[in-house]
Structure 1
Amino acid sequence: MMTRDIIHLSSSNCRWPPKTGSALLSLRVAALSICLVFPIGHWPVASSVAFAQQAPATPSSALGKADAAMSDITANVLKADGATDARQRLAFLDAARAGMTQLKSWVAADSAEAKAALSKLASAGIDADSLVSASISALQEQMKGRIADPEQRTGMRVRIMELIEALSLPELQVAALGGYAALLAKGDKLNAISLMEKAAERVDLIKDETAKNAALNTLAQTATIIEPKLSSALADKAISRMWPTRMRGYARYDLALRILAGKQIDGKPVSVAATDAIVAQSAGALKKDDLEQALLWALAINPEDSEARKKAVDNAADLALSEGKLEWMPVLATSLADNSDQEDLIEKLVKQRIEVGRGLDAAKLADYLPESALRAELDFTLATVFAKNDLKKMADASYASGNAVLADLSGPERGVAVVAAAESAINLERLDDALALVQELRAAKDGGNTIANLAKSLADADRLKDAETLLPFLQGGNDRDKAVAGIARVKAREGDIAAAKSALETIANSRDRGRVQSELARTLAKKGETDDAKSVALSIQDTEFRIEALLRLASVANDNKGNGDFDALVGEAVKVAAGEDKKDSRDKGYLKIVEALTDARKTDAAKQLVDRIADEKIKARAASMIGKRAALDGFGSEALTYLASFAGAADDETLKADVLVAAAANPAMLKFASVQSSTLKDHMLRVRTARAIAEASFRSLDVRNLGWGKGSPADYMAMQQQAPKLEAAAEAIPAAAFSDGRLTLARQKGRMSLPETYTYSDISVGAGTVRGNVPLPQPGHAAVTLANLSPYSDKFMEDLAAGNTGLSFAAEAQGIPYPRIIVIQSGVYTLGSLASELNAGDGFPLVTRENDVVTLRAPVLVAEGATLILSGQEAATYRLSATAGSFISVAGTLYVQDTTVTSWDEATGTPRYSDKEKRHVFRPYIIGWSNSRLMIGGSVLDSLGYAAPKSFGLAFSAGPKSVAQQITGARAPTGIVVDNFFHNFEYGFYSYEADDVSLVGNEYRDNVLYAIDPHDRSHRLLIALNTTYDTKAKHGIIVSREVNFSWIVGNVSHTNAGSGFMIDRNSVDNFVYANVAFDNKQDGLTLFESSCNLAVGNRFFDNKRAGIKIRNSWDVGVHENILENNAQDAIHGYISNLRASPANALRDFEFDPYLPLTTFAASGNRIHGNGGGIKVDGTSGFSLSGNDYLNQVGRLIDGDGRAMEGHMLRFNERESVLITSTVCRPKRPEAYSCRFRDAGFFNGDGQSAIFAENALTDTCTNVSNSVQYENFNGTGGRS
């Protein structure tokens, strides 16, 4: 008789097929999968085979030990089959499995009897795997009942997992894990998801492709139990791994039918309903804009009716694209069973994503394609798109992928792909790759145009010989004209007039002829052959190039001071433009002429020509050219007024930006340009404009001709690590020229000496550097775990002043004590991809994607070796939910590129804004830990960070301690942050023991405490060409507490609540060069307790305190700065008793020690219109040389040095003067090194003579009657 199925009691039509060989392996797996996952019997099994047949028992005494064991196993299986209680059944199965284990041990001992017994059992359908599977089923049956004892339930779960691990085949393990997940789905969704993830990992171990597809289909169908919806991350991942296309399409069909189970159309189940009726359901949902239902019904159409299914899915795809419903892309890319139909759909999706600038979406969709000509074409197209957006690494990866596909293609498919490959190679400037394809291009459709493009590109790259070798392959027509013209232009530019003229005889196309003739005319003019040049120009048929040629000749004439010739040639150009019939071409001609006139400073003539332009936008562009000239001449306000009078300028801020950049080239207009640029509304345009203004300012202040620098910060490590030189004996003070009893003045020779080889890291680095390094996503492992399981969360579990922790907000939002966090363990992921990669869990989605916005609603950890990307090639905006307590913690690599990252308050639907009163309110943040690399470029970062440790907004920090202690040779966090807008951060930038970070070209506005604040032993930082303004509480740029060996170059810092720049708390060997600070409420530059620093070539003006303030700092160089119109002194050097100062009441003097000792050297400074000149209070000495004093309001020399004023001025222009304390010279502090001094930067400035080698005191503050004593012990110190 047939026994009941022991796989699942309730599955009356499930039968376990016997193990009859590998041919039935996939059938056995499918049967087990279906029985485990779908016990209700909706999914029929292919056959119903008896598991075991009842036989009369043979007395064990008559059998050998192996036969006895076999008999016992069979008997226990039959008892289990007959048991009505799951617990009893499990006991019998346990006994059977014990017997099986005994038999196997005898087989291992080479028992023939045991081998025969196993064979007999197998022929009856009994083997170890079937017994384990039956045991799993029995345990699951028990777990369906209510088990009050949690320990018992836990024990059962542990035992199930042990049994699953005991299965010998990954196919069976996948099926068992899926069945167990289905059982847990309702009551324990998170564990069910975890089981599904384990099952997905086991799929990789399955070798047979049919079995692998069966297992994946099982997981996809099981996913509908856990997440009963069409867009399920579990199902999407499983189906995407199935192959070929047909399998995916049918899996989607199965999944749709399961979701629609129970629904009927015209009284029939959906599975047997008429196609037209299902199509009507889909169309009706589309009319209601119900995309999910429309697509669900479309997928319920039988794949055999491919045309109807294709049309319905296409209609749904159109709605998804028009509404930006990108979460449906994985479903659409695996929706059709016909390969050609699916390729067409994917191609449409890819091209739409490329058109809207979302190349990462396109690349992900292309991965669904087989290796075909279409896949190669799309890869090459993506390579070109990425290259045009400076995404070099992405371009290289796509190009390599395309070539890998191309290598396996042949016939017509290869011909199509070869053209795409060559065009991509040209766009990526891989011209040798393109050359290698020329022979195939000759036979390919459209190959001639590609060869012409290649010839032109080779010529432009000065590879004329290579370009000319291609001409025989171009027999005539436009392709040949294009190639010949490209070569001829280069030859004309290089002065080969004969070759250019000869080429013209073969070019028929008027535009290509015009290009060559224009270049030829300019070359002739430069050679002085003016008549021939003019003759060539006037012979050009194409209007655009005739105007171009005439204006080129006019430019040469203007350079040669030929005003008459200039006017005549421009007049000819005006006639040509006026004679153009097409209005657009005529206006563009006038525009070029206006540009030529403004370059020649003929503004009145240019204005007259502007009035002839009809198109308002082109007219505004012309007005902008005139405005740029006026602004450069110092008439910035008038230039903007003139520009604003044109209607076309109202909606084009780039025109105003152009005027402001031009104005900045005039130092007198810098403040105007910088303040006005802050009114630009377009964030990235404003960032680019602010950087361009900073660059213009830098060029005017680069007094040492150091230029843009070179290399990366890490390249300068060797200079930092050189052993300090032994301190030489203190110099003798030159003979005194004057003394008032307190200070002594002496003449000396020498001034600042900056070695010619000195430079800094490359300040020209831009967002392109970040773009060029962003990789394409690569598969890895990303999952959800509890925060308390990650050591990187330890810091944020500490109690804060407000009584909560950094993770309290996520825990509250998720409703659990330890919130779930996302961990990217390996691979390269985009944040948006996690929306489809991660599973919804308890219904609280951790990442969502809607239209062009990705929202993060949980903390994310990027583990070491893993990479996370936030890119404009995926989304316009990334919202970090403040409501859900999200933040990004990085131990690996983070890229933020050409996008917007903002905090998001889900209640108000706005970023969470902060100020001095709201500083302790949680806001999301980004932190990079040890070994991390943060690469952020071309982006807007808004309203991040709050007043909690490491949570300031954007932080680079060593640690966390619990992790760092376990890492051998942990690297300091590093990265590049360039060309971004940082708005309303707690700190725009913060670091703790970070190295080699480049902060270049960023704009910082409305930040709460600081704009830029590197801290605590951060080294070799490049802070350059940034603009920081309107900081609410303190300074624009500050480096504090042993931030050493860094460069602060070319920045603009204004209207901050504190100083523009500050060097603080023993930060040494920093080079402050060519910066600007104005309208700050404190100083232009403040140096507090920080020795061995250089301030050179800066411009500090209109600040509310001093230009430069130096406190308790020695070996300070102040050279060639412009210090103008500051409310107090141009330079104020002094000592202060910080312990007696209320402003330092909270300072930890053990942690932040100081010495009340100040010395400085000031030379070549322009001191103009300040409240005072140079003031000293308690300084041990200072030297002055060649400073220029103009229109000073107060005294030129004040404080302790007032009596020296006349003598200093008498020697100022002719030689240096050194002023030292008469009563006490201090000893140079011990354990002090200064790399600048070691490198000779202070040679001859006299500061070393201020110190006495045998002095008994470090500071002289304890020596009565000394200036140091009087100031230190007088008023309690100045702050």
Structure 2
Amino acid sequence: MYLHTRNRHRWVAGLVLAGSLAWAVVAPAGEHAAPAYQVSSIPAEPLLIDPPKLPDLSPYTAEAANARIVRKPVGNVVLKRMIGPDQLVEFTGGDERLREWVKRQGEMPQAIFIEGGYVTLKDLARSLPKKYFEETEPGIYIARLPIVVSQGATLHVGAETRDFRLSSERGAFLINDGKLFIMYTRLTAWSETENQQDWFKKKGKFRPFLNAWGGTETYIVNSVVSSLGYTASKSYGVSISQYSPAMHPTMQRDHPSGWLIGSMFDDMWYGFYCYEAYDVVLKGNTYRNNLVYGIDPHDRSRRLIIAENTAYGTREKHGIIVSREVNDSWIFNNRSYENTLSGIVVDRSSVNNVLANNEVYRNGSDGITIYESGDNLLWGNRAFNNARHGIRVRNSANVGLYENLAVANGLLGIYGHVKDLVGTPRDLVLDPFDMNLSLTVVGGRLIGNESGAISVVSPQSVKLYGVEMLMPTQPSGIGIFGALAKDQSRIIDLLVRQKQAVLVLPLDKLAQLQVSDKQ
């Protein structure tokens, strides 16, 4: 049994058992009447929809990215103080962050600025003293100052570069405020003291990073990016971020964008992060052994394509997560496995997204988790051998689960529930929520999940049609528990024997609908 305490009453929910179909409906003990539900058959036809039309990935290629490079005019390379330029305010504001660069540079902090046109690493090496930027071996370059690609400029790091190293000891990092192309090469946080990649050692320790600001284009293609990022703001690893709310009125830049395709990201604080970015494409990348997240699009990003990526071994949290109003996006044909928490998460009012044909397995929590994010479609995903649920949906209305497969998960194949988040650390102004849950589950197979096939706690509605539930792991077989126990035989009869669609509604909602129909 699950126990939930609220307003000094004990709320009790029945749990699905034994590969069974069950709705667990909460009811307060004592004086309050238990919610009652009506089970009925409905036409199946309105529940049937076509498979989602997924974006065409063929335009997003290395050749197409290369065609976007404008090589004339040739740009200029200049040194400027770090204090003052708008692109660096985020990183020099406050005594602590400014002190970081003073300590590492040993002088008034400076940065390398690329302005006015096209520049390569060879151009940087010719233009700067070796103490700031050096080609240490043929094709291997090290930056010992931050680099800023200014608006209207382009930095191209191409196949002639074997490794582009950012010195940790000297506080180097890379800011794109124009166009950045990293193609057929490596970008590495580098420890000069140890003469090796700057592998993660402890939280809070500075490591180089890449951040692209509003109005920019960033292309990382067929490359390896390693060991970037730490805990400070906009310094997470590879970030594509609109200017902060304080800066945006001054800068007035459009939303940033970019393509990251065919590349490897490993030992990053975040493998990828974005903020208010539009039309970013993450295609065919591998996110391996990153610290907090593999892929983490965030606040108010839209129309993202996250496709054909592999995310595994994330050490703290999830393989792939979209959070806080990441809307109108596509997450499909990805593999996310052996992450410490969930394989894929949709979180905090992220709506109108399609998750299709993803494979999530051997994750330490759920395969796919939907938190406080309604109006999303999950189609044809495969969740197996996850430690908790195959698919979990919390406080989310109008979520469609179509043709999904959940096999041998540690708890349930599908678990839908509500939860009161008042009193948790959640900022309820920034991240409001409603305790509403409604699911449509059509097709798919729920096989051999340890605690049962499906459980739905306190739904506003549930619609089911054509779901196969096989190989119960408990000897009690198919059962329906909680407030719907009396309707067990009817539900099984409708769903399995008659092959009809089933609708479950609270009686008070059913009465409201009947009154509305009469009016």
Q: What TM-score, normalized to structure 1? A: 0.36
Taking the aligned partners of 2:200 and 2:333, their CA distance within structure 1 comes to: 29
Instruction: Call closer, same or farther: CA 1:1200–1:1119 in 2, change over 3 Å.
Output: farther
* Residue in structure 1 matching 2:145, options 854, 858, 879: 858
Structure 1: distance between partners of 2:428 and 2:224: 39
Cα distance in 2 for residues equivalent to 1:1252 and 1:1120: 34
User: How far is 1:1010 from its partner?
Assistant: 0.4
Secondary structure of 1:1149's counterpart equals coil
Alpha-carbon offset, residue 811 of structure 1: 2.2
Q: Deviations over 1:177-230 (max 9, x none)?
A: xxxxxxxxxxxxxxxxxxxxxxxxxxxxxxxxxxxxxxxxxxxxxxxxxxxxxx
| 2:414 paired residue among 1116, 1127, 1131 | 1131
Paired position in structure 2 for 1:809? 100
Percent same amino acid among aligned pairs?
A: 33
- Indicate how the Cα distance of structure 1 residues 1177 and 1005 shifts in structure 2: closer, same or farther if over 3 A, else same: same
Task: Report the secondary structure of 2:83's partner residue.
Answer: helix
Q: CA deviation at 1:804?
A: 2.4
* Conserved 8 A contact 1:857-1:885: yes
Q: How far has the Cα of 1:1253 moved from its partner?
A: 6.4
Alignment of 1:762 onto 2:46:
no
Whole-angstrom CA distance in 2 between matches of 1:814 and 1:1131: 54
The equivalent residue for 2:249 is 965
Q: Which has the higher contact order (CA 8 A, sep 6+)?
A: 2
- Show CA shifts across 1:222-271 (max 9, x none): xxxxxxxxxxxxxxxxxxxxxxxxxxxxxxxxxxxxxxxxxxxxxxxxxx
Distance change in 2, residues 1:961/1:1157 (3 Å): closer
**Is the 2:378–2:401 Cα contact (8 Å) retained in structure 1?**
yes
Deviation at 1:798, TM superposition (A): 3.1
Which of 918, 923, 939 does residue 223 from structure 2 map onto?
A: 939
**3-state SS of paired residue (2:88):** helix
Q: Which of 221, 224, 237 pairs up with 1:953?
A: 237
2:333 corresponds to 1:1038: no
Which of the residues 109, 115, 122 maps onto 1:832? 122
Structure 2 CA distance for partners of 1:762 and 1:1252, relative to 1, 3 Å: farther
Q: 2: distance between equivalents of 1:1148 and 1:747?
A: 41
Alignment partner of 2:116: what SS? strand
| Residues 1:1173 and 2:485 are matched in the alignment | no
Q: In structure 2, how many angstroms separate the alpha carbons of the residues matched to 1:1072 and 1:906?
A: 43
Closer, same or farther in 2 for the Cα pair 1:777/1:1099, shift >3 Å? same
- CA drift of 1:746 comes to 0.8
> 1:1224 deviation in Å?
4.9
Assess if the C-alpha contact under 8 Å between 1:778 and 1:829 holds in 2. Answer: no
Q: Could you tell me how far apart the structure 2 residues matched to 1:1124 and 1:760 are?
A: 25
Q: Secondary structure of 1:889's match?
A: strand
1:269-308 equivalence runs, <5 A:
none
CA RMSD of aligned residues (A): 2.2
Give the number of aligned pairs.
476
Quick one: distance in 2 between partners of 1:1131 and 1:1139? 25
Matches of 1:1199 and 1:948 in 2, distance apart?
A: 48
Q: Offset at 1:960? A: 4.3
CA shift at 1:964, angstroms?
2.5
The alignment status of 1:1160 with 2:439, answered yes or no, reads yes
Partners of 1:963 and 1:781 in 2: CA distance: 26
Match for residue 1219 of structure 1?
Answer: 504
Q: Is the 8 A contact 1:1161 1:1184 kept in 2?
A: yes
| Distance (Å, rounded) in 2 between the aligned partners of 1:1132 and 1:861 | 48
| Maintained 8 Å contact 2:418/2:437 | yes
Q: In the alignment, is residue 789 of structure 1 matched against residue 92 of structure 2?
A: no
Cα gap change, 1:1168/1:778 in structure 2, threshold over 3 Å: closer, same or farther? Answer: same
* Matched AA of 2:494: F
Whether the aligned pair in 1 keeps the contact of 2:105 and 2:171 (CA below 8 Å) is no
Unaligned runs of 5+ in 2: 1-33
**Residue identity matched to 1:913:** W
The Cα of 1:929 is off from its aligned counterpart by 0.5
Contact 2:76 2:119 in 1 (8 A): no
State the partner residue of 1:903: 189
Q: Which has the higher helix share?
A: 1
Partners of 1:1196 and 1:928 lie apart in 2 by: 54
- CA shift at 1:1226, angstroms? 11
Contact in 2 for aligned 1:832/1:849 (Cα 8 Å): no
Contact 1:1167 1:1192 in 2 (8 A): no
Specify the code of the residue in structure 2 equivalent to 1:876: R
- In structure 2, the residue corresponding to 1:769 is in which secondary structure? helix
Distance change in 2, residues 1:743/1:857 (3 Å): same
1:924 alignment partner, one of 208, 219, 223: 208
Displacement of 1:759 after TM fit?
A: 2.0
CA distance in 1, matches of 2:224, 2:482: 47
Q: Letter of the aligned partner of 1:964 in structure 2?
A: H
| Offset from partner CA, 1:978-1014 (integer Å, 9 cap, x none) | 0000001111111110000000000001100000010
Partners of 2:196 and 2:511 in 1: how far apart? 58
SS at 2:281 equivalent: strand
Counterpart Cα distance in 2 of 1:1252 and 1:1074: 41
Displacement of 1:870 after TM fit? 1.3
Following superposition of structure 1 onto structure 2, how do residues 622-661 of structure 1 map, counting pairs within 5 Å? none
Q: Match for 2:36 among 722, 742, 753? A: 742
Paired residue type of 1:927: N
> Aligned with 1:804: secondary structure?
helix
Q: 1 CA distance for matches of 2:56 and 2:141? A: 34
1:955 shift after superposition: 0.6
Amino acid at match of 1:1175: S
Aligned mates of 2:273, 2:506 — CA distance in 1? 40
- How far apart are 1:1198 and its partner, in Å? 5.1
Please give the alpha-carbon distance, in whole angstroms, between the structure 2 residues aligned to 1:890 and 1:1200.
58
Query: Cα offset for 1:1062?
Result: 0.4
In the aligned structure 1, how far is the partner of 2:297 from the partner of 2:62?
Answer: 21
Structure 1 residues 1226 and 836: CA distance shift in structure 2, 3 A? farther
Alpha-carbon distance change, 1199 to 761 in structure 1, aligned in 2, over 3 angstroms = farther
SS at match of 2:422: helix
**Any stretches of 5+ residues in structure 1 without a counterpart?**
1-739, 1228-1248, 1255-1279
Rounded Cα–Cα distance in structure 2 between residues aligned with 1:1216 and 1:855: 64
Match of 2:284 in 1: 1001
**Distance in 2 between the 1:1192 and 1:1026 partners?**
33
Residue 863 (structure 1) shift: 1.1
Report the Cα offset of residue 920 of structure 1.
1.0
Shift, 1:752, TM fit: 3.5
Question: How far apart are the structure 1 equivalents of 2:485 and 2:158?
Answer: 60
Asked if the contact 2:276–2:301 (Cα under 8 Å) also holds between the matched residues in 1, the reply is yes
1:855-912 superposed Cα distances (whole Å, 9 cap, x missing partner): 111111111111111112x211110111111111111100010101110011111112
Q: Which residue of 1 aligns with 2:25?
A: none
Superposed, 1:224-303 pairs within 5 Å as none
Seen in structure 2, the aligned counterparts of structure 1 residues 1209 and 844 have a Cα distance that, compared at 3 Å, is same
In the TM superposition, residue 797 of structure 1 has moved relative to its aligned partner by 1.7
Structure 2 residue 180 is matched with structure 1 residue 885:
no
Q: Which residue of 2 aligns with 1:278?
A: none
SS in 2 for 1:779: coil
Query: Counterparts of 2:357 and 2:289 in 1: how far apart (Å)?
Result: 24
The two structures have a TM-score, normalised by structure 2, of: 0.87
Conserved in 1, the CA contact under 8 Å of 2:73 and 2:116?
A: no
Q: How does 1:44-55 map to 2 (within 5 A)?
A: none
Cα 1:850–1:1197 shift into 2, 3 Å: farther
Correspondence for 1:1051 among 331, 334, 337: 334
Corresponding position of 1:466: none
CA distance in 1, matches of 2:382, 2:184: 32
Distance apart, 1:1215 and its partner CA: 1.1
SS, match of residue 74 in structure 2: strand
| CA displacement 1:111-135 (0-9 Å, x = unmatched) | xxxxxxxxxxxxxxxxxxxxxxxxx
Q: Partner of 2:233: helix, strand, or coil? A: coil
Q: Secondary structure at the match of 2:196?
A: coil
Change (3 A) 1:1130 1:1226: farther
Amino acid at match of 1:823: F
TM-superposed deviation, 1:1042: 0.2
Task: Indicate how the Cα distance of structure 1 residues 1226 and 930 shifts in structure 2: closer, same or farther if over 3 A, else same.
Answer: farther
